[in-house]
Structure 1
């Protein structure tokens, strides 16, 4: 029997049982692709990461990310949490992860006492803005009335920066509280929008003082609701910068409140010669240690 240690951390929080849960296998050598997928399904968290030696020794590791049903090219909280777990491998506070979407740089964050408290990651690709979705269809997916979507600044719009495309919807406070994913509507939306490639994640947001509140639904991939979604927060930050016309910006996003897992995602975005680039960071807290037997 083969044994593979793993740890779990809560990401984008400063306390246990907040934020988004993540399992990390720090040494996944010897685990097959099928076993990685089976372990991610067995653990039943939004994502699980498997750490392998890098193809380029100049980088820290090759990191593979799986959710319950498939492998992901990039994701936010798995990179933040994996960086926290692998902090002892950092060089000058920086780790470099090889992933399907490209190279992901992870910068460790430290608290007042100097201990590692979390990490900040840069999205591996510049912002890409896709098609708009009809308001009625987007509202049906979110289980809200069309009037609950705010269109003064933009229609429901698909955006990505290395991860799965996210449908960004600005909504009213009342619709944010009432929203719940409608699975048949999600299926209709995917069938009507070939550009989605069979995948659809809704990222609802609203203005909340100087910051933002958000919720994320991705039921077709097994995540009914996500407590913190870094790979949706970065395209949102980039998209808001795109709309503003500014050179740079920063937004704090609260997510997971309705789930009882409050999360804080700190985002930035800036214009570069290759397009708008975004970052997201937050705190991490270790929770469990275990061993998988295969």
Structure 2
């Protein structure tokens, strides 16, 4: 019976029990996908990662990411948190490259003056891609809002991705606080838009300049609401930059998880590159738990 060490960390926060919790399991190359999924369901967090040997020895690790019900191609807080956990165990680790299903993630470790890892910055594995637009009435329906609560002056509700697709919509500040997901409406939305895969994840925000407040809902995969969603805030920042032709780059400060009592802070740099619009996510982390799993 193999025994694997695990660590948990709160990501996109400097305060324990804030931000988005993550479980990081060290090893597991002998485990099948079903067992990994069962472990993720047991942790019952937004995501759990498994750190495996890389296929290319020049890279740091192959990382598999699971939410409560399915494996994911890319997710932001698992990349930041996994890098943080590895850097806490290896004081020489300053840069890392993770192999994930969506491609390669380049990482820079943030350390304090004493050399202790305190967070990480990650670059998205893919440039921004934009998909279908959706009617404001659909967003209003899944979040129990009025269609007038959805702001369309900058962009309509739209699918966007840097490796993981979300439907992104702007709301009024008052409406953002009133969001209440309707699971039946989410099921109907996915049925009407099957190109969204096995989920219909909605990322909504309100804006004051380059400071944003955001909330993300993915109840069809067990995440009723997420405290901090790097893979949703990355395409949000890239989308906003894409709509501002006067800027080559922009930095957004994003607050999430406030309504959940787990306030999170993300800084997202979006930049036009030869490959397209890319994002770099910056986040702090706090260690929380360590233990072993017997399988």
Calculate the TM-score normalised by the size of structure 2: 0.96
SS in 1 for 2:126: coil
Aligned partner of residue 185 in structure 1, secondary structure: helix
Residues 245-279 of structure 1 show CA distances to partners (whole Å, capped at 9, x for unaligned) of 11000001000000000000110011011110111
Identify the residue that residue 31 of structure 1 maps to in structure 2.
31
Aligned twin of 1:126: 127
Q: Determine the C-alpha separation between the residues in 2 that align with 1:204 and 1:273.
A: 28
1:7-58 Cα distance to aligned partner (Å, 9 max, x none): 1000000010000000001222322211100000011000000011000001
Length, aligned pairs only: 293
SS of equivalent to 1:235? helix
Q: Give ranges in structure 2 of 5+ residues lacking alignment.
A: none
Contact 2:111-2:117 at 8 Å conserved across structures: yes
Contact preservation (8 Å) 1:268, 1:278: yes
3-state SS of the aligned residue for 1:251? strand
User: Is the CA contact (8 Å cut-off) linking 2:271 and 2:279 kept in structure 1?
Assistant: yes
**Equivalent residue runs for 1:10-29 within 5 Å:** 10-29=10-29
Asked whether the 8 Å contact 2:130–2:158 carries over to 1, the reply is yes
Structure 1, unpaired ranges of 5+: none
CA RMSD of aligned residues (A): 1.3
Matched, 1:221 2:259: no
Task: Kindly state the Cα deviation for residue 236 of structure 1 after the two structures are TM-superposed.
Answer: 0.4
Alpha-carbon distance in 2 for matches of 1:161, 1:211: 20
State yes or no: 1:238 paired with 2:249.
Answer: no
Q: Does 1:263 align with 2:241?
A: no
2:93–2:109 Cα contact (<8 Å) kept: no
C-alpha deviation, 1:130, in angstroms: 0.6
Gap change, CA 1:229 and 1:183, over 3 Å in 2: same
Tell me the distance in 2 between the aligned counterparts of 1:190 and 1:175.
23
Give a deviation string over 1:88-108, Cα, whole Å, max 9, x none. Answer: 558761110001000111111
Q: Using the alignment, how far apart are the partners of 1:90 and 1:18 within structure 2?
A: 25
Q: 2: CA distance between counterparts of 1:92 and 1:42?
A: 30
Pick which of 200-209 and 122-131 moved more: 200-209
SS of aligned partner of 2:41:
helix
After the TM superposition, which of the residue ranges 194-203 and 118-127 deviates more from structure 2? Answer: 194-203
In the alignment, what sits opposite 2:171?
171
1:184 aligns with 2:188: no
Moved more, 82-91 or 218-227: 82-91
Structure 2 counterpart SS, 1:249: strand
Which range moved further: 123-132 or 202-211?
202-211
Q: Aligned equivalents of 2:243 and 2:149: distance in 1?
A: 21
